[in-house]
């Protein structure tokens, strides 16, 4: 009864969504800076891994499900729970993939948590924030980068049509895209009409 499930976290990319786009290519110094940021993300992650291996660093208690994305909101624990609740409550599901040591995730979290209208609108969703990827490939239509936000209809259909600004990372958002994220949340609330 042996099973192998290679953890997919090591494949995760924490990068500025636009850093491989044409505009950024022109501004090479920006690219270099962002490349350094991306590398430092990877380094930070490696160091973090070694830490957990060698020492017993304890997180601050209590551990919450919100992880700072909105402490007053109700968060589901797992993908399975989130799917179940979305279907049963007929609410759309919003899944935020992020990493604690990714500065882009952290920056987006800050504006997300401080944006009153978003926090209010988020109450109408089943919410899940994940640091570890699921094995469901439907949640990574164009790769396993972070931050990455996907909406799923209560019919359990991934809303591939609800995207951000970046053609190379369709479901990425920067802090400056927070208004787009807000309107995307409004879009997600208009449920798909599925034929029965």
Binding site for a second copy (CB under 8 A): 1-5, 7-9, 49, 52-53, 58-59, 61-66, 71-72, 74-75, 77-81, 83-85, 87-90, 130-136, 138, 141, 155-158, 160
Instruction: Report cis status (omega within 30 of 0) of the bond before 117.
Output: no
Quick one: 57 or 116, whose CB is closer to a second copy?
Answer: 57
CB of 90 to a second copy, least distance (A): 8
Quick one: 5 or 193, whose CB is closer to a second copy?
Answer: 5
**Number of C-beta neighbours around residue 3 at 10 A:** 4
Quick one: 1 or 23, whose CB is closer to a second copy?
Answer: 1
CB 119 within 8 A of CB 72: yes
Measured CA to CA, the distance from residue 92 to residue 155 in angstroms comes to 9
**Nearest one of 28, 30, 167, 36 to 14, comparing CA atoms:** 36
Quick one: 87 or 165, whose CB is closer to a second copy?
Answer: 87
Quick one: 7 or 22, whose CB is closer to a second copy?
Answer: 7
CB of 122 to a second copy, least distance (A): 13
**Nearest one of 42, 13, 15 to 143, comparing CA atoms:** 13
CB 147 within 8 A of CB 104: yes
Residue found under tokens 């799917």: 83
In the 8-state DSSP scheme, what is residue 63? P
CB of 36 to a second copy, least distance (A): 26
CB of 120 to a second copy, least distance (A): 14
CB of 174 to a second copy, least distance (A): 25
CB 75 within 8 A of CB 127: yes
Quick one: 28 or 89, whose CB is closer to a second copy?
Answer: 89
CB of 191 to a second copy, least distance (A): 14
Backbone phi, psi, residue 7, to 5°:
-65, 135
């Amino acid at each position: 009864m042996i099973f192998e499930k290679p953890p997919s976290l090591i494949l995760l990319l924490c990068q500025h969504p636009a850093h491989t786009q044409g505009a950024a290519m022109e501004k090479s110094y920006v690219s270099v800076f962002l490349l350094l940021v991306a590398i430092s993300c990877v380094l930070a992650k490696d160091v973090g891994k070694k830490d957990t291996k060698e020492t017993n660093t304890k997180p601050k208690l209590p551990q919450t499900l919100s992880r700072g994305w909105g402490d007053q909101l109700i968060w589901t624990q797992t993908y399975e729970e989130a799917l179940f609740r979305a279907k049963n409550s007929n609410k759309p599901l919003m899944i935020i993939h992020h990493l604690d040591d990714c500065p882009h995730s952290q920056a987006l979290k800050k504006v997300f948590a401080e944006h009153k209208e978003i926090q209010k609108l988020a109450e109408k969703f089943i919410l899940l924030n994940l640091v570890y990827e699921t094995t469901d490939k439907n949640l990574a239509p164009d790769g396993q980068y972070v931050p990455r936000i996907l909406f799923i209809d209560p019919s359990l259909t991934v809303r591939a049509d609800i995207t951000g600004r970046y053609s190379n990372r369709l479901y990425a958002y920067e802090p400056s895209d927070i208004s787009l994220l807000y309107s995307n949340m409004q879009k997600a609330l208009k449920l798909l009409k599925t034929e029965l």
